[in-house]
Amino acid sequence: MPLPANNRQSGGWKAILFRHETVLLLVLALEWFYFNAVGPRFGSLDNMYDILRHSVEIGLLALVMTPIILTGGIDLSVGSLLGLCAILFGKLCRDAGLSPAMAGVCTLGIGALAGGLNATLITSLRLPPLIVTLGTYSLFRGLAEAITRGADTFTNFPASFLFWGQERWLGVPAQAPVFVAVAAGVWLLVHRTTFGRSFRAIGFSPEGARYAGLPVERRLALVYVLAGIVAALAAILYTARLGQARADAGTGYELYAITAVVLGGTSIFGGVGSVPGTLLGVAAVAVLHNGLVHARQPREVAGMLTGALLLLALAGSVVPKMLTARRVRRQTSPSNLQPTETA
């Protein structure tokens, strides 16, 4: 999106101000000030840890959704896959007698396979990701319900496993290092490797990327399989946090993840986006939901405000471009172009 020449002056502070991440940071700051004012316990360390622990699973899904949306795709099945992996993990621990560590490794493998199913259908059959993952969204959840007959749940995990979801490690919630590690990994992948550059290229134009010699299918397969693995990881952490695995775990998480990613400035059309933006998006929504409890507002308000925030964020990213485009059109319209006077 090249800016016309006579707009160079606005390249400075305006560009920064209208950068998505900055706006989001301002939103976060606003939320912070407001909730601190109305809720005395909001700013406490305990609450910060609450926010962190409650947003880890969605944060993981949002992180791995970022490269997918960068390539112009989408994955609606991650929430259902979380549920499926959670109950399979529980089943491996309880019925197959595996230790949580072994069961965890197997579950990650299952996640990879499930992601591989999405990847195969999307890459080898060139099917639209929205539709494929809509189908697997139903399929994975349906399998989870069928395997458990709806009713079966898995509990009684050993304390050493529950530690990961419920206890603190060196003073921070145990999930935090895992989340930070994945966040760092995804950030590296997207922003510092050629893989990441290829994601953007594919998002801009898959055909163009193909002509440029990029192995488009392999890269796409990578992101969807990665999504499967991370969804499985999120499932394990979820089970540790809750102490229970159920077939309906993770219901609706994919939409939260997409909300966070889009809030963070990643374009749903592909090609534009950032991992820090996604993290800010996750933070903005998590702080909003948490803060509203401290402000004694009912949960419905959180939902409505999230919807409004999403719309504002979208409009906010588009309106400056529209204003610029309008200004350019006006400046370059024939009636405005005066022939230069000759003395």
Q: 182-221: which residues touch other proteins (CB under 8 A)?
A: none
List the structure tokens of 45. Answer: 């360390």
> Of 47-55, 190-198, 204-212, 214-222, which segment contacts other proteins by CB under 8 A?
47-55
d(CA 127, CA 57): 28
Minimal distance, residue 146 CB to other proteins, in Å: 5
The yes or no reply on residue 132 touching other proteins (CB under 8 A) is yes
The yes or no reply on residue 255 touching other proteins (CB under 8 A) is yes
Q: 5-44: which residues touch other proteins (CB under 8 A)?
A: 12-13, 16, 19, 21-22, 25-26, 28-29, 32-33, 36, 39-44
Give the side-chain half-sphere CA count within 13 A for 131: 7
Which residue in the set 96, 130, 180, 184 belongs to the binding site for other proteins (CB under 8 A)?
Answer: 130
Number of chain positions touching other proteins (CB under 8 A): 96
d(CA 276, CA 44): 24
Site map 147..186 versus other proteins, x via CB under 8 A: -xxxx-x-x------x---x--------------------
Residue 92 or 263: which CB sits closer to other proteins? 263
Which residue in the set 7, 18, 54, 176 belongs to the binding site for other proteins (CB under 8 A)?
Answer: 54
> What are the backbone dihedrals phi and psi of residue 198, each rounded to the nearest 5 degrees, phi first?
-65, -30
Which residue in the set 202, 216, 262, 279 belongs to the binding site for other proteins (CB under 8 A)?
Answer: 262
Which residue type does 285 have? V
The yes or no reply on residue 249 touching other proteins (CB under 8 A) is yes
> Of 3-11, 50-58, 108-116, 191-199, which segment contacts other proteins by CB under 8 A?
50-58
User: What pairs with residue 169 in β-bridges?
Assistant: 172
d(CA 289, CA 304): 11
Residue 53 or 200: which CB sits closer to other proteins? 53
Minimal distance, residue 149 CB to other proteins, in Å: 5
CB 144 within 8 A of CB 89: no
Residue 60 or 262: which CB sits closer to other proteins? 262
User: What pairs with residue 173 in β-bridges?
Assistant: 168
Q: What burial class does residue 32 get, using C-beta atoms within 10 Å of its C-beta: 0-12 exposed, 13-18 middle, 19+ buried?
A: middle
The yes or no reply on residue 234 touching other proteins (CB under 8 A) is no
Which residue in the set 96, 102, 113, 146 belongs to the binding site for other proteins (CB under 8 A)?
Answer: 146
